[in-house]
Amino acid sequence: MGGLEVGMEFGIPFPGLGGHDSVIFTNTLIVMVLIFVLGLLIVRRLRLERPSKPQLVLEMTLNWLKGLMRDIIGESGVRYLPLIATLFIFVLFANLIGLVPGLVSPTSNLNTNFGLAMIVFIATPYVGIREVGIKSFLRHRMGPVLALAPLMFVLETIGEFSRPISLTMRLFGNIMGEEILVMVINKIATMIYYVPITVIILPLSLITGLVQAFIFALLPTIYFGGASAWGEKH
């Protein structure tokens, strides 16, 4: 699927290539390099006493995510913090980079979101089997009553396959809608004497990006929690 191409005429295509996908590719690369450089800069001067402000922000974010995972999955869930934190940081930066003029959110393309959702889709059974073993994992999928097992198994499998689609569509719809909103407001601004009324909509976009990144970290955590729960616990 090619995806929507609204407002893409301002994006930077990858040198030597054309089209919408190459704009998304360039912006994904920009996000990657940005996260890499920021991470290197923060990690280079880690201190135990009098930590710098970026270090504090990073530690607060990671501790908050860690507490969330401990609440939902349990004590062993902290093991999967790298995956969830990576998803959160990447989606956050990818959402917010669309607010910079000339750049486009990589998450406003279906392909990026589907790739991220497929990571979660593959990781969920892996986490379940690793936490409780393949036997308990399958037994949990079959429901409490043995007579209903065929029905429950099919239902659970359908639910499992609908998750990546809903993850993809949610992020795509939110970010694409927000970008179209900014574009339409910009067009209105050019009609009425170039008043910068985009300023009104930018805080809203900021909150949307942050909340969507949080949701994209929270939902995999809950999927992992559901996959690793079994027996009396669930």
Interacting residues toward other proteins by CB under 8 A:
2-6, 14, 17, 19, 21-22, 25, 28-29, 68, 71-72, 166, 169-170, 172-174, 176-177, 180, 215, 218-219, 222
Residue 139 CB, nearest approach to other proteins (Å): 25
3-state helix, strand, coil in the chain (%, to 5): 80, 0, 20
Using an 8 Å Cβ cutoff, are 113 and 171 in contact? yes
Nearest approach in angstroms of CB 37 to other proteins is 13
Q: How far is the CB of 176 from other proteins (least distance, A)?
A: 6
Considering the complex, state which of residue 212 and residue 228 has its C-beta at the smaller distance from other proteins.
212
Cβ-based nearer residue to other proteins, 14 or 153:
14
Say whether 6 sits in a helix, a strand or coil.
Answer: coil
Angle at 34 between CA 33 and CA 40, to 5 degrees: 85
CB 86 within 8 A of CB 74: no
What is the separation of C-alpha 53 from the centre of its chain, rounded to a whole number of angstroms? 25
**Of 134 and 184, which has the nearer Cβ to other proteins?**
184
Residue 4: CB minimum distance to other proteins, A: 5
Angle subtended at Cα 211 by Cα 197 and Cα 161, rounded to the nearest 5 degrees = 125
- CB nearer to other proteins: pick between 22 and 86: 22
